[in-house]
Amino acid sequence: MSFRNSSAPSQHPLIGVDVGGTTLKFGLVSPDCQILHQFAIPTEAERGADAVLARIAEGINRLIDEQNGLIAAVGLGVPGVINQRGEISYPPNFPGWGVVPVAERLRPLLKQPLPIAVENDANVAAFAEAQAPGATDRDFLFITLGTGVGGCIISNGSIWRGATGGAGEIGHLSVVMNGHLCNCGARGCVEAYLGQRYMTALAAAQLPRFPESLLHAMLAEGNALEPKLINAAAEAGDRFAADFLEEMGEILGAALASALNLLDLHLVIVGGGIAQAERHLLEPARRSLRARLIQSISHDIQLRPARFQNNAGIIGAAMLATTAGAA
């Protein structure tokens, strides 16, 4: 979803903003996709929409000042569905937002008129994978494993939005009939296993039955039980952690197989905090995926971690500002 309010020379750098529930990340990005400068400030989401929008504007204005106004466009990745009118509706982790037309509300707060593009954060990260210089994949499913499990369908290089802009919610593809309860109200969703809090809770529930697990000592040292720690334990040879992640990978692969069968896509790109768990999560997911695909598409399937990790939000938002016609 892009909203033009002026045109600007495209050789100027872009501003990409990654709007998270905890942190706002700002980046000055060159048209060829290099981050020239970046910083982050706390979101302070508990203070409500007006305060958060003011803080977003503050960060953008700081970059406008630093560049003496020579900015081509601004892109924002936000954690929620953006509808056809460019509004975000009740974003999770942003209390009191309701329905907010982000670009419209942000525009009067900026020091100078700039084209503003606003997009769902998973779509933004997927767009970075599709559109960054050197990217060659035109059709893929993007899945991001974080607090939630988000996703995006990239078709012919563009975000495929569905009827009202919300397509790509692979986190709420259900793979276990009447399985674990998900926060969406359904049961057996991928997110109810692979979402960070769910995965942590599942591991915590099983861990007492495995007193020999290295995780006990790691937790005693003050580490928090989270997917990355489970992967670190698996990498250190812990059997429980490896088996647990393998089970998660099998569920992930089953969901991806259903999605690829339905969409006729042949590539999955995995983003998010645990996308680097190649050996213990991605490889089991790949095996599970390949075993469950229909024959016509099973011969050339790939699953790989995202190219951009922590900076996917900034880079994708900046890319989106450019190619959405905003710049």
Residue 65 DSSP code: H
Residue 86 in the binding site for its own copies (CB under 8 A): no
Residue 100 in the binding site for its own copies (CB under 8 A): no
**Residue written as tokens 């958060």?**
52
Q: Which residues contact 222 (CB under 8 A, 6 or more apart)?
A: none
Out of 102, 173, 252, 321, name the contact with its own copies by CB under 8 A.
173
Residue 82 in the binding site for its own copies (CB under 8 A): no
**Residue written as tokens 């495995």?**
210
Residue 185 in the binding site for its own copies (CB under 8 A): yes
166-169 long-range contacts, CB within 8 A, separation 24+: 166/81, 168/120, 168/122, 168/123, 168/126, 168/142
Out of 47, 262, 302, 310, name the contact with its own copies by CB under 8 A.
262
Residue 303 in the binding site for its own copies (CB under 8 A): no
Residue 145 in the binding site for its own copies (CB under 8 A): no
Residue 36 in the binding site for its own copies (CB under 8 A): no
Residue 139 in the binding site for its own copies (CB under 8 A): yes
Out of 264, 278, 302, 325, name the contact with its own copies by CB under 8 A.
264
**Residue written as tokens 């109810």?**
192
Residue 286 in the binding site for its own copies (CB under 8 A): no
Q: For residues 112, 117, 122 and 125, what is the CA-based torsion angle, rounded to 10 degrees?
A: -70
Residue 248 in the binding site for its own copies (CB under 8 A): no
Rounded Cα–Cα distance for residues 286 and 268 (Å): 10
Query: Which residues contact its own copies by CB under 8 A?
Result: 81, 89, 139, 151, 153, 155, 160-170, 172-177, 179, 184-188, 251, 254, 257-259, 261-266, 291-297
